[in-house]
A and B are shown apart, each in its own frame.
Chain A
Amino acid sequence: MELLVNISLLFMLSLTVIAVVRLKSLFAIVMLFGIYSLLSAMIFIALDAVDVAFTEAAVGAGISTVLMLATLVTTGRWEKKSSRSSFLPLLIVSITGAALVWGTLDMPEYGNPDNPAHHHVADRYIEQSPEEIGIPNMVTSVLASYRGFDTLGEVIVVFTALIGVLSLLQVRTPPSVAETPLRNENRKLSRPYPVLQVVALVMMPFIILFALYVQFHGDFGPGGGFQAGVIFAVAFILYTLTYGLDDALALTPVSVLKALAAGGVLIYGGTGVVSMLLGGNFLDYNVLSSNPVSGQHIGIIVIELGVGITVASVLICAFYAFMTRALPDQGQKG
């Protein structure tokens, strides 16, 4: 039965890819990429990689679909016809693909439990992490403690991405206080989507509550700072989509978001510095408390908080930058 599910999911995945290549409408392609992400997330669940499935659904199906749609508004939704012949690219791609397939022939047998990939460091994590770190979700132990340095690098990459986005796209400054009464008058005249606005307002507290649950439940189940940050950002994306960019900018000013994005990285790196000052290695949480295991717990909670703050504020800020381009005259429209 599980084999049947795996085969049909992979079959649908490859059909989606073929359709993406053949379609000319960029909007349809973005929609199909959403399906692609949902399918691959489902495959990750079937493979028991629930944390990865969480991230794939959040980033692939959620955030990147929204950002790609915002990009389409500025670029137009039809693919340009290429005048050049596609023979040479096809040849190169075929040769590369054949070389890659040839390379897989030397790989160890698929699914064999004795493969080197399963015994390089995984044995130690599985055997020692319940005593050394003592949290049920081993993925979080590896991500936040054993590989804490790598995760710090990932958070810095996310932060750098925000710097890149903001240096290319500028976030619109919200209208000054003097204009506000007129704007409110306008908005009263044409409230665009009252049903959606009420629904968004009712849902927002629950989305934020769910984000906090994912943030602090990451030690016990699938989740953690990255996923929680995305869910937190989704709440504000929903608010922006229904209420407009001006209201969202008034709710979360860009200057605050920039400070929070940097602050999250600071919390993460600061934890490392504190552990150094207490006599341990960089990001060695054992020294944070008198008991090494509870020190690990404190360290993981703190750095996951830093990750969540950075990811949430970076995504919200990048979304505002895209929205500034996509819906430039929304303030006047209402």
Chain B
Amino acid sequence: MFATATIALLVIMCLALVRAFRGPKIFDRILAVNMFGTKTVLLIAVYGFLTGRPEFLDLGIFYALINFVGVIAALKFIERLEFYDEREER
């Protein structure tokens, strides 16, 4: 069961990675990074149970925290960048 969950998470991480690479809008990328971070937290948890050592779960809390603050910072600073320009993110 944990193996299936791991594979599913890895597939979702790949999909989020594709969205982060392709963009095209800045918000697509922020959302992709946010989702990637969430999946990393889940992968830490699942991987801990998969390898039989779930004592590192508290690292997951920290990843979730970093992810939350990082996204707030990205959105905060984006206000200051003129992001309504017509150029595509490439």
Which of A5, A41, A213, A222 is B10 in contact with, Cβ under 8 Å?
A5
Residues of B within 8 A of A (CB-CB), count: 46
Chain B CB within 8 A of A196 CB: yes
Chain B CB within 8 A of A212 CB: no
Smallest Cβ-Cβ distance to A59: which chain B residue? B66
Measured between alpha carbons, how far is A24 from B13 in the docked complex, in Å? 23
Q: Give the residues from 38 to 68 in chain A that come closer than 8 angstroms, CB to CB, to chain B.
A: 38-39, 41-42, 45-46, 50, 53-54, 57-58, 61-62, 65-66
The answer to whether A53 touches B59, judged by C-beta atoms less than 8 angstroms apart, is yes
Chain A residues contacting B58 (CB-CB under 8 Å) are 213, 221-222
- The B interface, classified by DSSP as helix, strand, loop or mixed, is helix
The answer to whether B65 touches A210, judged by C-beta atoms less than 8 angstroms apart, is yes
- The A interface, classified by DSSP as helix, strand, loop or mixed, is helix
The answer to whether B81 touches A35, judged by C-beta atoms less than 8 angstroms apart, is no
Taking Cβ atoms with an 8 Å cutoff, the residues of B that contact A are 3, 6-7, 10, 13-14, 17, 20-21, 23, 26, 29-30, 32-33, 36-37, 40, 43-44, 47, 50-51, 55-56, 58-59, 61-63, 65-67, 69-70, 72-74, 76-78, 80-81, 87, 89-90
A selection of 28 A-B contacts at a CB cut-off of 8 Å is A15-B17, A15-B21, A19-B20, A23-B90, A25-B23, A25-B26, A27-B29, A27-B78, A28-B29, A31-B29, A31-B33, A34-B37, A34-B70, A35-B17, A35-B33, A35-B36, A45-B47, A54-B62, A66-B70, A69-B73, A210-B61, A210-B65, A227-B62, A231-B62, A238-B72, A241-B72, A326-B77, A326-B80
